[in-house]
Amino acid sequence: MRHTASRIPMIHAVIAAAGNSSRFGTNKLFVSLAGQPMLCTTLESVCKAPVHKLAVICRRQDERKVWACLTASHLPGRVHPLVGTGSTTRAGSVGNGLKLLLANGAVDSDWVFVHDAARPLIDLSVMKRLLLSREAGDIIVPVVVVADSLRRETGVTSVSMSREGIMSVQTPQLVQIGTLRRALEQVKEAASYTDEAALVQANGGNVALVDGDPLNLKITVPRDAQIADALLQGLSPVVVGFGYDVHRFAEGRSLVLGGVRIPSDVGLEGTSDADAVLHSVMDAILGCGGQGDIGRMFPSSDSQYEGIASSTLLARVLSTSGARGLTFQSVDITIVAERPRLLSYQQMIARNIASLLDIGAQRVNVKVTGNDAIGWIGRGEGIAALCVVTALKTK
């Protein structure tokens, strides 16, 4: 067993994406849902949980498209994406996913979500229930009680079946890597199993159940995709927030923009560190959530904010209920300044803001411009920053 006693177990994910979509008629991974490929939505949904390594296991001919989806998806910066080749069986594909994780630093004591690529509507609340129940069994599985009446075919006719105690099984299923790896290695005819819980149970493991979500649909036929598309567009409206901030120069202060210290003979005047860029970002985020502005949230008359880092204030904004319900799609910033020259700091500022927001660096764009010697900014008396944040409202 690969195990490091002092290492805190981490959370990873294997996305089973190697099916041939025979009942759908075309490769359903790349069908458009709410304006983006279904696989992108699945990846973004799973990575709302604290996933570190994300292994997508697909057909060899789909690898290039999968990488394109990983690049286009709005994944947190902590996520390390991996792509591996699938097998002709689910067990084989999942086994390849575990090998890929282990080859990239995962260990047997880490936990892994095993999830169907064709379930794009998985909600964070289900994954939280799985994580909170880690000690309840060897594998934790979301289930939904069957509400419909059931019948079973018996040749030329059918008979009614009791639905008492009958549940439908969903993914993701949460299991320690070592537990699932041993089941794959030790269970005879493991390739015949289509469900990780059944495989672990066949190897003597205990299955624990948590409540699933009726909206966690598995896309099998085109009608399923139409339903998922309608749900996504209804559950995740796009919101836009705008922020603007301005500060005059002041002697004897450091210049901080976007959380990055900029060499300068003057800084910006303000109660906090006067980071005009982060102030505009915060106002834009508050605008997305309809939560007012930073002047109301952090009044300059309150001495507790004297000299405080704007990155600390941003963390407080992100912890508000309105911000927690946002999935950031893009952050577009314009800095207006005649001095100092900021072109060489654009990428550094963008990367730092992406890190503070826990999103991919490609989602943050920073532009720098002057004011053509017009007005007080044109005279080099201060700096202004403007920001537009686009997000999906998921709560």
Q: How many residues does this entry show for the chain?
A: 395
**Is residue 66 in a domain?**
yes
How remote is the C-alpha of 18 from its chain's centroid?
22
Q: Does 5 reside within a domain?
A: no
For residue 236, what pLDDT band results from cuts at 50, 70 and 90?
Answer: low
256 and 208 within one domain: no
Domain boundary among 201, 220, 235: 235
What is the reported pLDDT for 1? 41
Instruction: Please say whether the beta carbons of 13 and 81 come within 8 A.
Output: no
Is the model's pLDDT at 286 over the cut of 80? yes
Number of independent structural domains in the chain: 2
Considering the domain architecture, whether residues 124 and 201 belong to the same structural domain is answered as yes
Domain harbouring 86, CATH code: 3.90.550.10
Per-residue pLDDT, 6: 63
pLDDT value, residue 210: 95
Q: Do 244 and 386 belong to one domain?
A: yes
22 and 129 fall within a common domain: yes
Domain, as residue range, for 314: 238-393
In a domain, 3, yes or no: no
| Residues 20 and 73 reside in one and the same domain | yes
Residues near 288 by beta carbon (within 8 Å), at least 6 away in sequence: 239, 240, 241, 322, 323, 326, 389, 391, 393
Measured in whole angstroms, the distance separating CA 102 from the mean position of its chain's CA atoms is 22
Is 211:143 a contact under the CB 8 Å cutoff? yes
* Residue 176: per-residue pLDDT: 97
2 is a domain residue: no
In this structure, the answer to whether residues 110 and 26 fall within a common structural domain is yes
Question: What three-state secondary structure class fits 329?
Answer: strand
Cα dihedral: 28, 32, 37, 43 (round 10): -80
- pLDDT in the model for residue 2: 45
Residues 26, 170, single domain; the answer is yes
Mean pLDDT of the chain: 92
Q: Write the CATH number for 262.
A: 3.30.1330.50
Could you tell me the pLDDT band of residue 20, with boundaries at 50, 70 and 90? confident
The pLDDT of residue 4 is above 60: no
pLDDT in tens, 338-386: 999 999 999 999 999 999 998 888 889 999 999 888 888 889 899 999 9
Domain boundary among 235, 267, 302: 235
pLDDT tens string 173-222: 999 999 999 999 999 999 999 899 999 999 999 999 999 998 899 999 99
* DSSP string computed for 152-215: EEETTEEEEE--TT-EEE-S-EEEEHHHHHHHHHHSTTGGG---HHHHHHHTTPPEEEEE--TT
- Report the pLDDT averaged over residues 98-117: 97
% of the chain beyond a pLDDT of 90: 72
Q: What is the pLDDT of residues 299-347, one digit of tens each?
A: 988 889 999 999 999 999 999 888 887 888 899 999 999 999 999 999 9
Q: Is the peptide bond before 37 cis (omega within 30 degrees of 0)?
A: no
Residue percentage of the chain with pLDDT more than 70: 97
Comparing 332 with 34, the larger pLDDT belongs to: 332
Q: Is position 1 within any domain?
A: no
* Domain finish residue from 195, 214, 235: 235
Q: What is the mean pLDDT of residues 3-26?
A: 84
Q: Are 291 and 298 in contact (CB under 8 A)?
A: no
Same domain, 55 and 20: yes
Higher pLDDT, 64 or 2: 64
